[in-house]
Every structure is written in C-alpha cells, then in structure tokens.
Amino acid sequence: MKLLDHLKTERGFTLAELLVVCLVIAFVMAGLLIMLQTGAQSYLVGSNQVEAQQTARMALAQMDQEIRNAGYCPTCAGTPPFTAIASQTGTGFTLQNDWDGDGAINTTGTVTDANGNVRGEQIVYASSSGTLTRQEVGVDASAVTLATGIDGLTFTYQDSTGATTATAASIRTIVVTLTTQPQNQPAATPQGRVLVTMTDSARVRNR
C-alpha cells in the first residue's frame, strides 16, 4: 500500500515540457547541421580550387618556358633569319627554334640538336572546346592534350614597347590569361563550384 501511494505521488513531464525540450533539441541539431554543411562546403571548394589552380599552373609553366626559349639559334651571331613566333591567333600560336643551327626551320620533320636529342623545330599551342593542346611538329603525330577544363583562354601579343601587335616578327612578349575549373565542376549553383583565373606574361629572350 505504501508503494502504491508513493507511485501516485511521482510527478511526470507535462506535454508543454516535452514540447519545449523537443524544440531545444531541434535548434541544437539545426545548428550542428549548418556547421557540418559549412565545413563540407569549405572542403569541397578548397579541393576544387587546388585542382583548378594546379591545372592552370602546369599549363602556364609549360608555355612560359617554351616562349622564353623561342627563337633559339646556336650559330646565329646576330638576329636569326627566322621569327621566334611563326604565327599567332586569338586561340594559339606557333613557336620556332633552330635546334640544329642550319639557319632554317624544319616545318615537317625532326632535327638533332647539339646534345644528340631529336627535336621538332616548331611547337604549336592551340585551344579549342575547353582543351589546351601542344604539338611538337615532327615529334608528336598529333596534338597532345596539355590541360582540360579550360573555361577561358586569351593570348595578348606585345612588341618591345609593350604595345599590342598583330605582326609575328614584332612579338616580344605573350600575355596568357587562363581560366580553369575542376574536372568535375558542379552545375551553376550547387556547392563546390569554382573558377580560377591566372595571368602570366613571358618574354622571348632570343630577340
């Protein structure tokens, strides 16, 4: 009888109290969810940005090195009898080097340089449909993909005074502006969408 009386005096939770507790838990869980989503978004953006930056840096580094070395001629005492830039457009350009020192550019086959390396004397860079390609004429049977995920690519050609020029023989500097995106770029609005733009200029040293 005493146990029954004791149980009758036990006070439980009211409906209002349960609702308040549920509301507090809901607020806490919502806060945790927002924190998790923010962390996931930051990680996704960061990893996609690193991927896009790496693509841009590799492409620019390759072009910079070859632009600077364009016009090489080991036997020319003065100005070489050929242009360092054979041709240029808004989507690409062609570099030239006289690796064998015969004073002429081989535009179809290969030559052997002073170190015994088989080289092509023309290098063609071209951009199309989000892809940047490089072809060493005579060495590469077809253009080799240098970078994908290109969202925008522009080439600006400048003369010795820094003025824009359309004359291949007058080009001394090429300014490259490259916009890339990760390989798996999300759609227009979802999390993780990034575009990375880099600009670099390379001066032809052999002119």
**Domain presence at residue 32:** no
Domain that holds residue 170: 43-203
pLDDT reported for residue 3? 60
pLDDT for 9: 59
What is the reported pLDDT for 144?
A: 95
Number of separate domains in the chain: 1
Query: Which positions of the chain have pLDDT values less than 70?
Result: 1-12, 189
Tell me which DSSP letter residue 183 carries.
Answer: T
Best CA proximity match to 82, nearest among 93, 97, 62, 66: 97
**37 in any annotated domain:** no
Record the pTM: 0.79
Distance of CA 134 to the CA centre of its chain: 15
Is the residue at 12 inside a domain?
no
Residue 180 in any domain: the answer is yes
Name the burial class of residue 193, with classes exposed (0-12), middle (13-18) and buried (19+) by CB atoms within 10 angstroms of its CB. Answer: middle
Count of Cβ atoms closer than 10 Å to residue 126 Cβ: 17
